[in-house]
Amino acid sequence: MKPLEDIRVIAIEQYGAGPYGSLQLADLGAEIIKIEDPNTGGDVSRYVPPFQEGQDSLFFEAFNRNKRSIALDISTPEGRAVFEDLVVEADAVYSNLRGDVPAKLAIRYEDLAHLNPAIVCVSLSGFGMTGPRSSQPGYDYIMQALAGWMSLTGEAEGPPTKSGLSLVDFSAGYVASTALLAGVHAARRDGVGMDCDLSLYDVAVALLNYPATWHLSAGWEPTRLSRSAHPSLVPFQLFRGGDDEWFVLGCAKEKFFRRVCDAIGRPDLPEDERFSDFAARNDHREAIIAILDDAFATRSASDWMTVLGDAGVPVAPVQDLGEALTDEHTIARNLIVETDHPRFGTVRSVATPVRVGESTAGGGHRSGPRLNEDGVEILTSLLGYSSERIDELRARGAFGSDS
């Protein structure tokens, strides 16, 4: 068995951050039942281009493997009744909606505790369920601007820059999945559930971490540095070989700097008071970088990566997406998983990095569900509805106006 096979989550989720968090749980064996609004065509990520046909998209596949889908209009009394029956059988209700929407949909703990006192209600929103921005929509890009990330990112003379990946969304998904597991653990121990009020904004601010501590405690003001340089550890940045190819060199310990100096034939540099430790090199950053630039210009980037790597210095090429995904270490770590999809054939995606024993390795993954693919099975096997009951609910619009 996979480690989370005894956890059932009812997910009212869409697009990126929420589905990314529940994807981690699904890969670990949790039963994720996606409730999709049939009146809007389900999760909006089904329609994200460029690789999209009908209600299928590779974007949706990236976030929704190993999940189940039921089309349900919870705004109708009949749809709400089905939802409440699902809550009785679940460990958690998980949503990523605007911060004021859980109250409007009545999916908070105070709304559901009478059905299941141990239910854990996880809300991942842009700004949380409290605070002056709680009713505002929020997205990854917005958070990177608002939380200061973009002021820290980019070239010194260039504009503020966002990350090339949706790191706030992805990080928030991990945070939400962790909160859900902690909540379920506590509810099973104490018999009482709770709300978990999480937000992209909170995550983005929390990830400021040590720069925030420097600023709050010592008044440090960041400046963007050329070539993605570390704010205090020198040298730790991009360098270019004599063939104009880029590589990253990281001296996070003094021993690495000494090894670099030996490699370039300058063992004297650590004895120079300008370069004797991290603080000195930070004060004389331009001088040491100029020396290293001149040295690295004498040989190709691949030559230097071999020399430095053999010396035990952290160094890496700047690989493109394809190179990263076919890197021998990517393959060795089983980081690519495959699913069979009725429209796209074999879909290859990246695996969850969460490893728990041996049960999370290997294959056995299912593609993302078609809209309402599991509806009848959920209603009959889980809830015990008869065909007559299902027909009655369908006639009353519980599964959408066109069902």
Dihedrals phi, psi of 316, to nearest 5 degrees: -155, 150
- How far is the C-alpha of 121 from the C-alpha of 92, rounded, in Å? 6
Please give the full DSSP string across 114-137, using - where no structure is assigned: TT-TT-EEEEEESS-SSSTTTTS-
Give 180-221 as a DSSP string.
HHHHHHHHHHHS--EEEEEEHHHHHHHTTHHHHHHHHHH---
| SS3 assignment, position 340 | strand
β partners of residue 194? 120
Whole-number Å distance between alpha carbons of 194 and 176:
14
Judge whether 365 and 338 are in contact, CB under 8 Å.
yes
- Point out the residues that are catalytic: 230
Any bridge partners for residue 247, and if so which? 239, 317
For 246-280, letters b (16+ CB in 10 Å) and e give: ebbbebeeeebbbbbbebbeeeebbebeebeebee
CA dihedral 194, 195, 196, 197 (to 10 degrees): -160
CA-to-CA distance for 7 and 305, rounded, in angstroms?
46
| Residue 87: CB atoms within 10 Å | 20
